[in-house]
Amino acid sequence: MKPATLAPMFTIAGDEAGERTVAVHVTGESLIRSPLVNKGTAFTAAERVELGLVGLLPPRVESLEEQKARAYAAFLREPTPLGRHQLLRRVQDTNEVLFYALLQEHVREMLPVVYTPTVGEGVERFSDVYEVPRGLSISIEDPESPKDVVASYPVEDVRMIVATDSSAILGIGDQGYNGLAISIGKLALYTLGGVSPLRTVPVVLDVGTDRAAILDDPSYLGVRRKRLRGEAHLELVRQFVLAVRERWPRAVVQWEDFGKETAFDVLDAFRDVVPSFNDDIQGTGAVALAGLLAATRAQGRSLSAERFLVYGAGAGGAGVARAIRDGLEREGLSREEASSRVFVVDSKGLLVEGRPMETYKQELAQPVSAVAGWTVAGKVPSLMETIANGKVTALLGLSGQPASFDEPVIRAVTANTAAPVVFALSNPTSVCEAVPADVLRWTDGRAIVATGSPFAPVELAGKTYAIGQGNNAFVFPGLGFGAILTEARKVTDGMVAEAAYALADFTVERYGREGLVYPPVEDIRDASVRVAARVARRAVADGVAGRADLPDDLEAHVRRLAWTPRYLPFRRA
């Protein structure tokens, strides 16, 4: 028997003049305990009378601007990043509009707190600091099926889901139930990009954890058993996917932080069942490709003239290598020519055909003939040997190995090119492959540097170097928004590639003269609008759009539809 769903808490309607009003179905304390509809001290005197709020709030009526000022002052009083992270979560769990208005106004200061790098600590401490339920948990120990759990969730028209099994969170690995924090953080970035929080759901698929410290922690809130693997794991994901397709047929799913053992299997198994993509594989690949395009254009070079080394062959590294290869093909190279310019090195050395490796790595391996004339000490070329023999000009780190791009490595790349590209993309900051100041010093300021986590500008020899942040937030909100706008039946590889080129074009147009490879984080909304418009066009071209009635000025259309944090007038339903 299908469980009963909760009645909607509110409906939003527009009049003939285009003014929107919120009609609420709950009043009094139930209303102010609901973050999606709570305005707190901003409820007007008339609304307080009509909605049964008189006496439940302070007498003074505040504006959103006044609320933001008070919340920001509280943010500044918190002495630690984790304390600030918790405060912002508390604001979000109390008043969604205020949270997003605050985040939008202080995005440079708050994005590293809401997302990387502080979200890493937020994940690790999620059970310790747990206060208010948020999102959806699908557990292997649930007394009901995933179908029943999804059917009972009290939101009817969900359009965007971020789902994780928490097996490979950032650079901190298996985190079990605590990984729900990463889904919450990602969706905050979707809303910065324009997706309404009223239509989003963060999800954790709690299949256990292999981390003994978590299992032994008395405060841990997740399933206390070893991680489910293999077909049993895939079956739980399948039940979740089918439940989503039935309950929310227009929802897009972003797979987040699945381990390399399952990330490719889950993506391949379900991308034709529900419109979905894997941010670690495809989002990371797209943002890396966008940065490389901007970097080479800034130097007057073509992408096809470079030779690339991707250090790290997990889901992110493999996704970046695939994206570069596909970008080279788009630039006119054959598949064979493109593959010959992309070297992937894991902990055992260069991926070469015939070497033992996981199935997903095989398509990225170099043929034996390609390295036959190389000078190497062992059977498999090392990182340094690949740089020297492969004439590498662009180095991309996705290894999670801190300081692995040391001075000899950087100098080896510099020997092959006047302006080496060095992207140390591992997150959080503690696992970054290199510190930008070191890379610039070792190359006398010639390197084009980007990182995955935020770094301050570097001063060297009287010149200031801005450090671009290769943040997936420049890609995935627009990719998801474009798929939502067109009600895409599938997120195609072409849509992902279009997101990369849209971001590169945006960066070059706006910051090309400054030589930036990524825009400042304050531009997340504008970048997302550009990406969403281009992705939507590509969805139509690829024949997967459920809605193809797009206006000519699509960017303006996207901007009009993008959700903006503001208070609407309320009335009793």
- Residues with a known catalytic role: 115, 186
Helix (H) or strand (E) holding 524: helix 524-541
With a CB cutoff of 8 Å and minimum separation 6, the contacts of 74 are 87
Find residue 367's DSSP bridge partners. none
Helix, strand, coil content of the chain in percent (nearest 5) = 45, 15, 40
Question: Strand 349-350 and strand 342-346: pairing?
Answer: antiparallel
Q: Identify the helix (H) or strand (E) that includes residue 139.
A: strand 136-139
Task: Classify the phi-psi angles of 489: left when phi > 0, otherwise alpha if psi is within -120 to 50, otherwise beta.
Answer: alpha
CB 468 within 8 A of CB 516: yes
Distance CA 9, CA 154 (A): 9
Q: Nearest to residue 512, comparing CAs of 297, 326, 301, 352? A: 297
Measured between alpha carbons, how far is 189 from 195 in angstroms, rounded to an integer? 9
**Residues 38, 42: Cα–Cα separation, whole Å:** 9
List of residues 6+ apart from 242 with CB closer than 8 A: 147, 273
* H or E, element range at 114: helix 107-114
Pairing between strand 20-24 and 136-139? unpaired
- For residues 544 and 533, give the distance between their C-alpha atoms in angstroms, rounded to a whole number: 15
Instruction: Answer yes or no: are the C-beta atoms of 105 and 97 closer than 8 Å.
Output: no
Task: Report the alpha-carbon distance of residue 369 to residue 85 in Å, rounded.
Answer: 52
Q: Give the pairing type, strands 160-164 and 20-24.
A: unpaired
Residue of 334, 309, 321, 404 whose CA lies nearest to 361? 321
